[in-house]
């Protein structure tokens, strides 16, 4: 059985991530979404919210599961009995960032192979950090995130009594 892990912060999960998840799920027997616990960073959405949103968004994909992980990715791989890491590549800049990560993971665990999926062109401009910035400045993020995530952003601005363009 070929098990792959798609790790990320998913803060928030974007439409680009969703496309990669669906494509990755079709390539492996099991795809585990590993949501990073990063103690050094305050996320926009809590770990619980990110896991819950991903679980809901992937509920119809039978071979996809969602878990959180802390520490080294290769240890999470071992825990999940996975040998493949799935990551998306939007640009050459992504490649420059991702290649040494993939190689470091390989050094730490020689069985850890990273598979890069080319981001579909319609999603290549989307990033979680860009989405948060556009949201903060009142821009429309509707096409960049799944509806559920959009609603959560919207609910957040209602809570804060702010207006929201979108």
Site of interaction with ligand PNS (CB under 6 A): 7-9, 36, 72-73, 101, 104-105
Of 22 and 62, which CB lies nearer to ligand PNS in the complex structure? 22
CB of 119 to ligand PNS, least distance (A): 13
Largest CA distance in the chain: 51
CB of 107 to ligand PNS, least distance (A): 9
State the Cα angle at 75 between 73 and 78, rounded to 5°: 115
Catalytic residue from among 9, 17, 50, 87:
17
Annotated active-site residue 128? The verdict is yes
Dihedral (CA of 106, 47, 41, 9) sign: positive
Catalytic residue from among 23, 30, 90, 152:
90
Q: Which residues contact 15 (CB under 8 A, 6 or more apart)?
A: 123, 126, 143, 144, 145, 146
Of 109 and 157, which CB lies nearer to ligand PNS in the complex structure? 109
Of 7 and 16, which CB lies nearer to ligand PNS in the complex structure? 7
With beta carbons less than 8 A apart as the criterion, state whether 43 and 74 touch: no
Residue 8 is given by DSSP the state E
Per-residue tokens: 154: 């919207």
Locate tokens 């993971």: which residue? 105
CB of 43 to ligand PNS, least distance (A): 10
Of 117 and 166, which CB lies nearer to ligand PNS in the complex structure? 117
CB of 132 to ligand PNS, least distance (A): 12
Residues with a known catalytic role:
17, 41, 90, 128
């Amino acid at each position: 059985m070929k098990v792959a892990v798609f790790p990320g912060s998913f803060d928030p999960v974007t439409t680009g991530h969703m496309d990669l998840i669906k494509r990755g799920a079709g390539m492996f027997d099991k795809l585990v979404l590993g949501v990073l616990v990063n103690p050094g960073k305050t996320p926009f959405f809590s770990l619980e919210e990110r896991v819950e949103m991903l679980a809901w968004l992937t509920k119809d994909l039978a071979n996809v599961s969602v878990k959180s992980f802390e520490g080294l990715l290769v240890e999470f791989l071992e825990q999940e009995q996975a040998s493949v890491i799935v990551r998306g590549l939007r640009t050459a800049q992504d490649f420059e960032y991702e290649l040494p990560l993939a190689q470091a993971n390989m050094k730490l665990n020689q069985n850890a192979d990273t598979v890069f999926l080319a981001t579909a062109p319609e999603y290549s401009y989307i990033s979680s950090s860009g989405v948060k910035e556009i949201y903060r400045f009142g821009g429309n993020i509707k096409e960049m995130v799944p509806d559920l995530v959009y609603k959560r952003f919207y609910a957040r601005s209602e809570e804060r009594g702010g207006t929201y363009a979108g």
